[in-house]
Amino acid sequence: MRRLLYVLPAVLVAALAFTFAIGLRDRDPSALPSALIDRPLPALDLPAVEGVDLPGWQTADLHGEVMLVNVFASWCPPCRVEHPVLTRLTEVHGVPLIGVNYKDAPEAAAAFLVELGNPYRKIGGDFEGRAGLELGISGVPETFIVDADGHIRFRHAGPVLPEHVEQVFLPLLRELRG
Amino acid sequence: MIPELAHLALVIAFGVALVQSTLPLAGAARNDAGLIGLASSAAWAQFVLLTFSFGALVHLYMVSDFSILNVYQNSHDSKPMLYKITGTWGNHEGSLLLWVWVLTLFGAALAAFGKSMPATFKARVLAVQGMVTVAFIAFTLFTSNPFERLDPAPLEGTGLNPLLQDPGLAFHPPMLYIGYVGFSITFAFAVAALIEGRVDPSWARWIRPWVLIAWSSLTLGIALGSYWAYYELGWGGWWFWDPVENASFLPWLAGTALLHSIIVVEKRDSLKSWTILLAIFTFGFSLLGTFLVRSGVLTSVHAFAVDPDRGMFILLILAVALVGPLLLFAWRAPQMRASGAFQPISREGALIMNNLLLAAATGVVLLGTLYPLFLELVTGEKISVGPPFFNATFIPLMVPLLLILPIGTLLAWKRGDLRRSLRLMSLAAVAAIALALVAAFTDPRSTIVTALGFALAGWLFGGAVMDLLQRAGIGRSSWARLPARLVSLPGSAYAAAVAHTGVAVTVIGITASSAWQTEVITSMGYGDSQRVAGYNVTLAHVGPVQGPNWIANEGTFEVERDGRHIATLTSDRRHYPVEGTSTTEVGITSNLWRDVYVVIGEQTGDGLYVVRLYHNPLVVWIWLGTLLMAVAAVVSMADRRFRVGAPEPKRAKAAAAPAAPAPQAGS
Amino acid sequence: MTLRQLLRALLPALLLALATAATAAPNPDEILDDPALEARARALSAELRCVVCQNESIDDSGAPLARDMRRLVRERLVAGDSDAEVVDFLVARYGDFVRLRPPVRGSTLLLWASPLILVGLGGIGVWLYLRGRRDDQAAAPAPLSPEEQAALDRLLADRSRS
């Protein structure tokens, strides 16, 4: 028994080292999972962005369809990167794309959409960043997959790249659409 | 050519370290004087090789040789020379080379000063130290070669993180490393003792100076880092319980416990296996800190650019360096018999309580730091453990520790007289009450906690004075002889009193600066004045300033009190074009009683600037206290009985003469 | 693939630049007129983590998202929310990650109880150890016990050896 006690420190350290080894593998310590998964999309009421030829939106309007909610801004370089990917998703796979224009100048947002094309169905302006807080975002861009009941099923932080579409978005969208 | 030679020197040092870690062990086992002697020569050779290698890297930084990838990535021609030099260790590869250099420095120091030890034991210590060096040179050579070439060589480098271009942070890492790496020597002593299966008072005497120097450096290193945070991060905070801060605090806490448990081994031949365990874990925590900073397993503001492969390598070092000796410990420890018996109420008993509370505090900080990682791996939950948790758990463990501390110093070895100690402490209690009253009436913001903090400091300081008086024989001999007896006390007696006074000073600093801080956040234009705690601060001027490698918008502030000019302060928002980042430099006027601290912020349009003003009473006491602790450790080291390398006969004479003069403080 | 690597390399730098560009702590325009409410807001802010920073509270952070959160905290306090309601609001959106003071529940019980557990276990160990030490003394009548004598001999032997 006493002997066992003396072995304890070695065992504890070995266990700790083992834990670290697991912790080091394929883990992003700064990745933050969304607390909103499987929760209803927060109640938002976002006005149209001046100069953009699309209506704003309210959460209540969005029921009945599987869709993507994308938080973007013209000042965010990765948003430019994901823009063609999102465009393809809407054009090829017919997924409705709802925009949240985050802390942007309306004229800059309008120019951004003129330059790159406009894949969005509706765009609400979030000038103060309050909707961003409601959605629990930690940066721009972020994209949410919302099911037909208006529940958030998936959240992607950072730009959506083709491999994300293949590996995550399309399978989940297929499943949600039945 | 130089980088290639430096790299070669590192490769040779690796070979020499391999020799040092094996042959002397065999020599010690077979009592072969030739192989035993090899240990010291190898240690010296490594030191020379690493000095060349590290010196070469510093040189490459000084001349901005951008054909070296590491220099290119972390330096720039326009940097001031000081930051070219300190930039050497402002990155992973360079700081690792500094680590290894300090390792060999300690190896050579041991070879030079460890003359009082038996040759076989010294050979074993050096061999263990050699193993640590092997591991770290291998880490450098295989994953983090600082001498990698870049072809073609770029014309200009990419610069150094501006936050690191600061004198405080420039010297924080070397101090910290001397501390971390210094504990590798005490680790080596512990492992060598396990190999021999012998721990006794002479072992404690040999190891003690090394613990003191490592602990002293670590104390200074942490204090420097915290002072840097205070004046550089720009909101007057000085400790954030960040994982990396905790990583440096863990070896400090464990090292503090070790510092005290060694006294019990030395004086009473008890607490041996516990002390060995502490020595192993103290270095273990140093390695853990290195792992946390460099692996990216936790997020932290202080972390280096992270790389999982490097993380795996350090983890391997950590696992082997700890599990091996701990298995040896499991085998040897049961055979270690303590010889000194004692009552619970005794100096030993008090030191055991000290160790219990310090160990518990270490455990809490360790668990708090790693718990988010554990929980994420086990349940997938993502939580944060921040300052509110650490303040709520750490402080309640420190308060009883500091309450017991002065009583413990007044207890006799073996069997203490608690009543007598408490009677002596009644004078300290008066000091405690006096300070609490001062605190309560100085400032209306004082709470019960503020008064208790001051009382604790008075208790500690009074206890330190009583400790000296008791050692000088107060009550046992005539009052007239007291001064002479005080003067003749050994340095270690003063060291203990000074260190414990340092704790009191730090406690006052923490208590006062957190309870009585005044903060004013406002917008100011030219000529606007703002009052902060009796001081009148006027924004005199804002204008552009050009530095060697930065441009800034600098605000000049005049600080007055009752119409009397106190200081002119400048605070600027610096932009470093090379690195593309900005820093804020604060303006501080500091004296013993208060800091007035100004920070200029963004321009808010119409000629107005955001300005933050702070009045931080007694805040420098936090660092003065740590300085006292570090100095005390050096005083203790200078004590004849432990002087590194003091030849045995001389030491015997010193011990025999009771009235030997105390060494000069700080010498 | 290369694009992804590029982004990976760029993103932290971008975030860092955004995070360090602004100085810490609330701006004058955020501060509430009611000092009692403002004090509550500061205390609450110090317990909430800035989710885009490494390890800073929203009170310490200059990041834009931290500023939004500080505003939100103040808005809700002005609207009459209790401290707990404000924290719950953010936890509902960001998870327990935003709380610098982890909640007490099953999975964090070990953490919160750790001071008691460690002092308790250590205390038992110390008690057992001290009991053993005291028994030793009862069996040692002489001022210099055999063990002490042995230790002394060893010391002297050490000295002659070196």
- Residue pLDDT, tens place only, B224-235: 989 988 988 777
Report ipTM (2 d.p.): 0.88
Q: Is A55 helix (H, G, I), strand (E, B) or coil?
A: coil
The interface residues of chain B toward chain C in range 178-217, judged by CB-CB distance below 8 A, are: 200-202
pLDDT tens-digit readout, B151-194: 888 888 888 878 778 887 778 888 999 999 999 999 999 999 99
Q: Which domain holds residue A58?
A: 35-177
* Whether the Cβ atoms of residue B238 and residue B268 lie closer than 8 Å to each other: no
Predicted pLDDT at B565: 94
**pLDDT of the residue at C8:** 42
What are the CA-CA distances from residue B416 to residues A70, B235, B635 (Å)? 72, 48, 27
Question: What is the share, in percent, of chain A residues with pLDDT greater than 70?
Answer: 96
Query: Is position A1 within any domain?
Result: no
Which residues in chain C are classed under CATH 1.10.8.640?
A: 9-103
Closest CA to B193 of B246, B133, B265: B265
Looking at the 3D structure of chain A, how many domains does it have?
1
Say yes or no to pLDDT of C19 above 70. no
For chain B, the first-to-last Cα distance in angstroms comes to 42
> C79-121: per-residue pLDDT in tens?
999 999 999 999 999 999 999 999 999 999 999 999 999 999 9
Q: Would residue A3 count as lying in a domain? A: no
Interchain proximity B299–C122, CB inside 8 Å = no
Q: Which residue of B has its CA nearest to A31?
A: B382
Within 8 A of B275 by CB-CB distance, chain C residues are: none
- Residue C14 — very low, low, confident or very high, per pLDDT cuts 50/70/90? very low
C133: pLDDT strictly greater than 90: no
**pLDDT for residue C17:** 36
**pLDDT reported for residue C6:** 41
Chains touching chain B through at least 3 C-beta pairs below 8 angstroms are A, C
Write down the pLDDT at residue C60.
Answer: 84
Mean pLDDT score, A82-99: 93
Would you state the structure tokens that stand for residue B138, as one six-digit string? 């291998």
Q: Say if residues B34 and B27 touch (Cβ distance below 8 Å).
A: yes
Q: State the Cα–Cα distance between residues A107 and B177, nearest whole angstrom.
A: 54
Best to test chain A binding among C11, C70, C93, C129 (most A CBs inside 10 Å): C93
Residue B1 burial (CB count, 10 A) = 5
Q: How many CA atoms lie within 13 A of B250 on its CB side?
A: 26
> What 3-state class would DSSP assign to B168?
helix
pLDDT on residue C149: 74
* Higher per-residue confidence, A111 vs C6: A111
Q: Which of residues 17-56 of A touch B (CB under 8 A)?
A: 17, 19-25, 27, 29-30, 32-33
Nearest CA-CA distance, residue A1 and chain C, Å: 14
What DSSP string describes B437-504?
HHHHHH-TT--HHHHHHHHHHHHHHHHHHHHHHHHTTBTTB-GGGHHHHHHTS-HHHHHHHHHHHHHH
Looking at chain A, which residue has its C-alpha nearest residue B310?
A24
How far A134 CA lies from chain C's nearest CA (Å)? 6
- Judging contacts by C-beta atoms under 8 Å, the chain C residues touching residue A133 are 68-69, 72, 93
Chain C touched by A138 (CB under 8 Å): yes
Does A6 reside within a domain? no
What pLDDT, in 10s, does the model give residues B294-331? 877 776 555 555 567 788 899 999 999 999 999 999 99
The pLDDT tens digits for B383-397 are 999 999 999 999 999
pLDDT at B301 (0 to 100): 53
Q: Is C99 helix (H, G, I), strand (E, B) or coil?
A: strand
DSSP letter, residue A116: H
Contact between chains at B326 and A21 (C-beta distance less than 8 A): no
Confidence of residue C23 (pLDDT cuts 50, 70, 90): very low
Q: Provide the percentage of residues in chain B whose pLDDT is more than 70.
A: 94
CB-based contact (8 Å) between A84 and chain B? no
What is the chain C residue with the closest CA to A29?
C54
DSSP letter at A47? Answer: P
Chains with 3 or more CB pairs under 8 A to chain A = B, C
Contact status of B364 with chain C (Cβ, < 8 Å): yes
Write down the pLDDT at residue B377: 87
Residue of B nearest to A9 (CA): B326
pLDDT attached to residue B306: 59
What CATH number is associated with residue A148?
3.40.30.10
- How far apart CA B237 and CA C46 sit, in angstroms, is 12
pLDDT of the residue at B299:
63
Q: What is the DSSP string of B550-617?
A: -EEEEEEEEEEETTEEEEEEEEEEEEETTTTEEEEE-EEEE-SSEEEEEEEEEE-SSS-EEEEEEEEE
Q: How far apart are CA B40 and CA B46, in angstroms?
A: 10
Compare C21 and B9 and report the one with higher pLDDT. Answer: B9
Q: Which CATH class is domain C9-103?
A: mainly alpha
Residues of chain B scoring pLDDT < 70: 299-307, 640-667
The fraction of chain C above a pLDDT of 70, given in percent, is: 75
pLDDT tens-digit map of B566-615: 999 999 888 888 878 788 889 999 999 999 999 998 888 778 899 999 99
CB of A114 within 8 Å of a chain B CB? The answer is no
Using the Cβ of B324 and the Cβ atoms of chain C, whether some distance falls under 8 Å is answered with no
